[in-house]
Amino acid sequence: MRRGERGCYGVWSCPGRARSLSGNPDPQWVPLMPDSSHALAGVSNMTPPPPVHVAIIMDGNRRWAQARGQPVAFGHKAGADAARRAIEAAGNAGVRWLTLFAFSSENWQRPSDEVQELTTLLRFYLNHEVKSLAREGVRLRVIGDRMRFGEDTRRLIDRAEEATAHNTALNLNVALSYGARAEIIAAARSLAAAVARGEIAPEEIDEAAFTRSLTTAGMPDPDLIIRTSGEQRLSNFLLWQAAYAEFIFLPVLWPDFDAAQFQAALHSFASRERRYGARFP
């Protein structure tokens, strides 16, 4: 990220400002094929088994709107539509867990009018999308510091989680006011307090105990993390959970992300050999 810029992503948030897509792509990017087939290089057309958990850093709303001479809110609305397409694509592909980075803890530093637009859009979708998610068997959960939102927004989040709690077709996690470093610090403090109360001995703290103290407790780690807009960083997203995730960086701006690109990313994932640090003959 260039000096003075702040990262922001996704459905309801301000995207990062990557390089223009009009020039030649960085050779380290994972590009789409020029024949518009949305296939990734070196990947066959066979349908691979999907990863269990896909996480997406949704980036590019602002630049998408600016390229069209539209206000930033126009890009966020288009980003929300792209999120709906990603949810449908994940369900159709057999992905069981999908995590969308929608609003980072750093996004609160944005101008107050933009934050207001984003939270208004969030409330709109919590009011209007939950019934659709429930019909489609999607379970919605929010990870992040929801206490930073107003009481009305928190009530809508609680209501949405309750309304979809028994669904099993797709587990949808939306990261709102989320920051991985804050999550890790909170987990460490929780375990330290448990030690002070005599509930656990220090030597009993291991990776499993730490994982149970995170906001993602009970969820599988992401197998694949996708980031749009060409940026190649995690931006304080799922730092602990991403230890062995595969990464795909796409130059497409988030509002242009579609089901074909999602499926192409799954094909690329299937072509990779995951060793988890082990070495095989």
**C-alpha closest to that of 233 among 12, 17, 14, 4:** 17
Residue spans of the domains in the chain: they are 53-270
Show the tokens assigned to 36: 């518009």
Query: What is the pLDDT, as a whole number, of residue 35?
Result: 36
State the sign of the Cα–Cα–Cα–Cα dihedral 184, 165, 227, 91.
positive
Which of the listed CATH numbers 1.10.150.130, 3.40.1180.10, 1.10.260.40, 3.40.50.720 matches domain 53-270? 3.40.1180.10
Mean pLDDT per block of 10 residues along the chain (281 residues) reads 38 37 35 39 59 97 96 93 97 97 91 85 91 95 95 96 97 97 98 98 98 98 98 97 98 97 95 79 62
The 8-class DSSP code of residue 281 comes to -
Between strands 97-104 and 53-57, the pairing is parallel
Query: What is the pLDDT, as a whole number, of residue 186?
Result: 97
Query: What is the pLDDT, as a whole number, of residue 107?
Result: 87
DSSP helix/strand/coil, 106: helix
What separation in angstroms does the CA of 277 have from each of 142, 174, 232, 244, 280?
Answer: 31, 29, 22, 9, 10
Q: What are the residue numbers of the active site?
A: 59, 107
**C-alpha closest to that of 184 among 172, 176, 192, 195:** 192
Query: What is the pLDDT, as a whole number, of residue 61?
Result: 94
Contacts 24+ apart (CB under 8 A), 42-48: 42/271, 43/264, 43/267, 43/268, 43/270, 43/271, 44/267, 44/271, 45/267, 46/267, 47/267, 48/266, 48/267, 48/269, 48/270, 48/271
Query: What is the pLDDT, as a whole number, of residue 280?
Result: 61
Q: How many CA atoms lie within 13 A of 268 on its CB side?
A: 23
**C-alpha closest to that of 102 among 85, 119, 116:** 119
Residue 237, phi-psi category: left (phi > 0), alpha (psi -120 to 50), beta (remainder): beta
Indicate the helix (H) or strand (E) that contains 176.
strand 170-178
Query: What is the pLDDT, as a whole number, of residue 21?
Result: 34
Q: Alpha helix (H) ranges present in the chain?
A: 61-67, 72-93, 112-128, 130-135, 151-163, 180-196, 207-212, 259-270
